[in-house]
Amino acid sequence: MKIWKPNPLALIGIAMISAPIIAHAKIYVSAEQAQKILFPNKTLTKNSIIITDDLQDKMRSASSIRHPFQGDRIWKGPDGSWLIIDEVVGKHEMITYAVAINPNGSVAGIEILEYVESYGYEVAEAQWRKQFVGKTANDPIKLNQDIQNIGGATLSCKHLTDGVKRITVLYDLALRNVSPLTAPTQISKTK
């Protein structure tokens, strides 16, 4: 009589299948740190705006991001530069990021603030993010067109690319003509 013994590799496979996939949130930088990285010698003032349905629709059609943009995390520099914090879905979880806009409407840089997915985190690498520098609403800002994809991070790349596009459209439609500030204050702590 032969006694059955479980295959140890099969047990590992069963354990892996039944184990939940756990995503660990990683906070790369805070809003204050992003401001200091992107605008090291500037003081920004909070400049929240109301996002009308019409503006939301125009931003959606330009970027394909369905998650509504919140107008409460926007700061303006005395020279007409902007810092906008936004969120997009990676594959399943939200990615929080900051976009710095120069006074001429071009992207000065982007920083990843928080990334929750368990894979695709390569979008936080400086080499990938610097592709956006100099882009404006007039540029395609499309994955695999003027922005390179990262294998294994396609959805995060696509959604962040679309998110940056919607920020450039926001600047073009709503922020470009906002009057300069007179008394800037330091960026306040945000999520």
Query: Tens digit of pLDDT for each residue in 167-189?
Result: 999 999 999 988 765 433 344 44
- Does 60 map to a domain? yes
- Give the number of domains in the chain: 1
Q: Can you give the residue range of the structural domain that contains 43? A: 23-175
Position 188 scores a pLDDT of: 42
- Does 166 map to a domain? yes
Alpha carbon distances (Å) from 57 to 11, 61, 63: 51, 6, 10
Query: Tens digit of pLDDT for each residue in 89-119?
Result: 998 899 999 999 999 999 999 999 999 988 8
Whole-number Å distance between alpha carbons of 157 and 175: 25
H/E segment holding residue 14: helix 8-18
- Does 86 map to a domain? yes
- Does 1 map to a domain? no
- Does 59 map to a domain? yes
- Does 152 map to a domain? yes
Task: Give mean pLDDT, residues 76-91.
Answer: 95
- Does 77 map to a domain? yes
- Does 124 map to a domain? yes
